[in-house]
Amino acid sequence: MQNQQNQTSQNTQTYQVPPNLNHGGHELFDVHEVLSGSINTLNTYMLMREFVKDPELRDILDRQYQFIQDEYNLTCECFKTGQHPSKRTEPYMMKQNNDFIYGMTPTSPKKPMQSTSEISDQFISGTMLSCCKQGASARTMAATESTNPVVRRVLAASIANCIEMAYEISLYQNKHKYYQVPQLAQEDMQQILNSYAPAQTSPMQNNNMTH
C-alpha cells in the first residue's frame, strides 16, 4: 500500500512528466479547438480567394493566410513536443493605416444570398473578420487553461495577432462602407470619457506605512 502511494505521488510530480505529455486535460481540448479552428480558417480563406475582386483584399487575404499557416505550424509543433518551437513567434504587421471613418450613411438592407453568384468582397471580408474574432476568443480560452508554459506563451502571442488581423479587415471594410461606425453625440462622449478618475494611494499601502 505504501509503495502504491509513493508511486502515485511520484506520478503527480510535474518534473517527472515528459515534455510531450506536459499538458492538462482542459488544455488538450481547448488547443484542439484552436488548431481545428485554424484549419477551418485556412480552408475558408482558400475557398473564398477565387471570388475576390479587389486586389487590395486579395493581398490582405494572402498575407493573412500565410501568417495563419505559419502560426498553425508553430502551435502544432510546440503542442506535440511540449518544448519551444523551431522558430520564434512573430507579430503580424498590417498595411492599413489606423484612420476610421465615423458616421452612418444609408445602405441597402442585408439578407442571405440566394446563389454563389452573389458572393462579394463585402461577404468575403466579413467572413474573414468573423474567423479572426473567433480565433482570438478560442486562443484566449486555451491560453488561460494551458499548463504547458511554452504552449501558453505561443497562444498568448497569437491572440494579439488575431486582434491585429481583425483590425486590418475592419479598417478595410470601413473604408468601403461595409462596416460603419456610429458615434455618440460629443456631449455624451465627453461625459463618459470624464466619468473616471485616477486611483489614489492604495489604502493597503497607507496601512503598511502606519505599522
Please state, in angstroms and rounded to a whole number, the distance separating the CA atoms of residues 174 and 104.
11
Tens-place pLDDT, residues 124-168: 999 999 999 999 999 999 999 888 888 899 999 999 999 999 999
101 φ, ψ to 5°? -100, 120
Does the global pTM surpass 0.85? no
Cell triple for 205: 499601502
Domains and CATH numbers, the chain: 17-104+117-210 (1.20.1260)
Cell triple for 7: 508511486
* Residues sharing a CB contact under 8 Å with residue 176, sequence separation 6 or more, in sequence order: 121, 122, 125
- Find out whether 142 and 155 touch, Cβ atoms under 8 Å: yes
The one-character DSSP state at 194 is: T
Tens-place pLDDT, residues 4-58: 555 555 555 545 776 667 767 777 888 899 999 999 999 999 999 999 999 999 9
Q: What pLDDT band is residue 191 in, cutting at 50, 70 and 90?
A: very high
Average pLDDT of the residues of the chain: 87
